[in-house]
A and B are shown apart, each in its own frame.
Chain A
Amino acid sequence: AAGVIQSPRHLIKEKRETATLKCYPIPRHDTVYWYQQGPGQDPQFLISFYEKMQSDKGSIPDRFSAQQFSDYHSELNMSSLELGDSALYFCASSFRARAGAWMGTQYFGPGTRLLVL
């Protein structure tokens, strides 16, 4: 079965540079979520999109922005990178609109490991 695809898998950037992370959800999933997991930490919710509209916002810095495109893939744009942005960034997808289905199960991608030097 198709899974969530994230690219790149690893990324090394310098401070103050920009980075773009991409996420391709499971086909027919209508919701995409972004999470950040620092070293030894639990994942923290950043932002989500439902049917290409932002649906919820968490602890996402103003330096970060995200969007979901017409083909449902999503991109997380990160500018003015700081050392503290080094983390594992996960994308997850779910099918929210499915009537009768258990709600809330999110399928996670393998993550993008970002290292800011």
Chain B
Amino acid sequence: SQQGEEDPQALSIQEGENATMNCSYKTSINNLQWYRQNSGRGLVHLILIRSNEREKHSGRLRVTLDTSKKSSSLLITASRAADTASYFCATTGGSNYKLTFGKGTLLTVNP
């Protein structure tokens, strides 16, 4: 079964605006990670947040985690055309280290 579900599935914004993507998951986790994928290319790790953390920042990225609601959000501030990509959340849980991915959000930043 799919662990993470991204919301929205697609998001189109103008350059300079903020983009918020949400992710929900079903079972307990060790951590939650966000990855970016440019069209048909490799997955680039953006940020990891542990289950005992509530918020994390990295440059223009801000991630929040609410374990009581089993959800996370990724905020990209001051977006750029180069941020256009698909964004996936992925979780690890229990004693295994495999990543379980959500469906992804396709972000389009228009110049």
CA distance A104 to B98 in the complex (A): 8
The interface size of chain A toward B, counting residues with CB under 8 Å, comes to: 27
Would you call B40 and A88 a contact (CB within 8 A)?
Answer: yes
Nearest Cβ in chain A — how far from B4, in angstroms?
8
Chain A residues whose CB sits within 8 angstroms of the CB of B96 once the complex forms = 55-56
Chain B contact-residue range equals 20 to 34
Known contacts A102-B50, A104-B33: A90-B101 contact under CB 8 Å: no
Q: Which residue on B lies nearest to A6, using beta carbons?
A: B42
Partner pick for A102 among B31, B41, B44, CB 8 A cutoff: B31
B80 at the interface (CB under 8 A from A): no
Would you call A108 and B43 a contact (CB within 8 A)?
Answer: yes
Chain A residues whose CB sits within 8 angstroms of the CB of B41 once the complex forms = 110-111
Would you call B40 and A42 a contact (CB within 8 A)?
Answer: no
CA distance A35 to B99 in the complex (A): 9
Would you call B97 and A42 a contact (CB within 8 A)?
Answer: no
Chain A residues whose CB sits within 8 angstroms of the CB of B31 once the complex forms = 102-104
Which of B44, B96, B98, B100 counts the most chain A CB atoms within 10 A? B98
Partner pick for B103 among A42, A102, A103, A105, CB 8 A cutoff: A42
Chain A residues whose CB sits within 8 angstroms of the CB of B57 once the complex forms = none
- Against B, the Cβ 8 Å flags (1 = close, 0 = not) of A60-104 are 000000000000000000000000000010101010100000111
Chain B residues whose CB sits within 8 angstroms of the CB of A27 once the complex forms = none
- Against A, the Cβ 8 Å flags (1 = close, 0 = not) of B69-111 are 0000000000000000000101010001111111110000000
B30 at the interface (CB under 8 A from A): yes
Chain A residues whose CB sits within 8 angstroms of the CB of B99 once the complex forms = 33, 35, 43, 45, 92, 104, 106
Nearest Cβ in chain A — how far from B87, in angstroms?
11
Known contacts A105-B45, A108-B43: A42-B33 contact under CB 8 Å: no
Chain B residues whose CB sits within 8 angstroms of the CB of A45 once the complex forms = 98-100
5 smallest A-B Cβ distances: which pairs? Answer: A42-B101, A108-B43, A104-B92, A45-B98, A110-B42
